[in-house]
Structure 1
């Protein structure tokens, strides 16, 4: 019987991108997706992808999900309720079923132990250690920040209001989430990636002043960058009606950016894609000018 590749979180943005790119490389009947709601995967089922139902929180539901799977990619859970425990359930089920190669999508950061995001992100690195201890071959795809998150940080009205975000002069090698998905698909369908750690990021890092400058060039208008203090920024987010946990996440990430925690550019993404990744200018042009 044919051994297959399983993708978790396939109805989400990153997981969906991985499956999309896998479909350009291997036949649909070689791809399995693990989802909680089969209805959300109707398009994948129609394309011939195998659907298996499971919940990270429910280890029993995962028992059969990994049968006849050779390789899997665990897209990290976006449910922060015992995320490490969820990941362990997936890893245990994969090991029990005889999965040969386990890929995990984690995070790229300079030093998790000194970062203000330590408590929020340490479980990524604990997951990696648990995978290592399992004895399965592994590849750790440590993703830097998605370019697609920039509107979350600075909003959609920057051409009118300017760029306002308390990241100081911190620099980030933003990369496109879809290209990260493609890199994951390449790892799953080619050899030579066992027991490797990749830092998935652009070669070029950018400050939020750079973002304002690029938008100024593209729009023909002067787009300013304002670096408010955390108190002022927190007040503005609360005034906009954002819930407290979202405000705290935004402040945590902005502080980490200001401290240079994500300033880890590199060539792994370019090498895995086999080409130069898209630049931030292209993303900003499409997102803010629609061209």
Structure 2
């Protein structure tokens, strides 16, 4: 494997990718980009002999320093929607200014590119980042992710909350999602980083092997929990009003509403996937995932 920098290395996906790489390559081939060296996971990286680089996406000068002697970058997309595109442009500029040859970018699947679509703020920044990377002249691999299975507990609540409310309350209608757990993305993408040549200048669509609605999620949870878990899909206005009434922060309500509307519009309903080919197996089912989380 080429000397590889994993960005977002303290986040959930970044940690899983690093874990997979450590099981298969020498530590001197792995560098990690972090913002805060006081975190326990960073101290763990240091104890294992990983090359720790300190910078954030907002600081081009520090990124340029952090990218020295790096051959390929695994760019995990930023979470700040308003700043994401400029942050990603900084990463590309820092890569061009150094010896980086190849960028792997975690993008998103998409069906609708309209600026009026509920998920436009998410999709548009990814599309523009993809184009920035492609236009840079660097070798690239675009990894278009479907939704993480891991967001389901975030959207519907933990076991205690579900047993209290006995319901899933989201305006997702009968929309379906080809969910993928983070661990499956990390497994596949670590393999790609280890053998990058066959993935140069390619775009991959990474969807799960099954498509699941929240009605189906409620049925699975009913069996797991031994309690009837109903699925209620209110109107968007009713949902937002109810969430604000129970005290959820406005930005959280907006995020839940935006993704719920995207699901209702079938933005994540895909039949094909490149992921199974890379993994050499099917993705983890929602039944398996929810059992691990809620049983």
User: Normalization by structure 1: what TM-score?
Assistant: 0.94
Give 2:57's aligned residue: 56
Contact conserved, 1:104 with 1:141, CA < 8 A, in 2?
yes
Question: 1:181: Cα distance to partner?
Answer: 1.4
Contact conserved, 2:224 with 2:294, CA < 8 A, in 1?
no
Q: Give unmatched runs, 5+ long, in structure 1.
A: none
Summarize deviations over 1:37-73 as a string: whole Å, max 9, x none.
1222111111111001112111111112112111111
Which of the residues 185, 194, 197 maps onto 1:189?
194
Within 5 Å, give how 1:80-95 maps onto structure 2.
80-95=81-96
Summarize deviations over 1:201-230 as a string: whole Å, max 9, x none.
202100001101111233333322111111
Contact conserved, 1:109 with 1:264, CA < 8 A, in 2?
no
Which of the residues 116, 134, 139 maps onto 1:137?
139
Give 2:290's aligned residue: 284
Is 1:158 matched up with 2:175? no
Q: Distance in 1 between matches of 2:217 and 2:97?
A: 47
Question: 1:3: Cα distance to partner?
Answer: 4.8
Moved more, 110-119 or 270-279: 110-119
Contact conserved, 1:7 with 1:74, CA < 8 A, in 2?
yes
Contact conserved, 1:238 with 1:244, CA < 8 A, in 2?
yes
Q: Distance in 1 between matches of 2:242 and 2:13?
A: 30
Q: Give unmatched runs, 5+ long, in structure 2.
A: none
Summarize deviations over 1:55-104 as a string: whole Å, max 9, x none.
21111111121121111111011123421111011111111212111100
Give 1:99's aligned residue: 100
Within 5 Å, give how 1:1-291 maps onto structure 2.
3-40=2-39, 41-113=42-114, 115-156=117-158, 157-160=161-164, 161-190=166-195, 191-289=197-295
Q: Distance in 2 between matches of 1:3 and 1:261?
A: 35
Partner of 2:20, secondary structure, is helix
Summarize deviations over 1:143-195 as a string: whole Å, max 9, x none.
11111101121112224412221100000011101111121111101130111
Number of residue pairs matched by the alignment:
288
Q: Distance in 1 between matches of 2:126 and 2:153?
A: 24
Q: Distance in 2 between matches of 1:210 and 1:52?
A: 43
Moved more, 217-226 or 234-243: 217-226
Moved over 3 A (4+): none
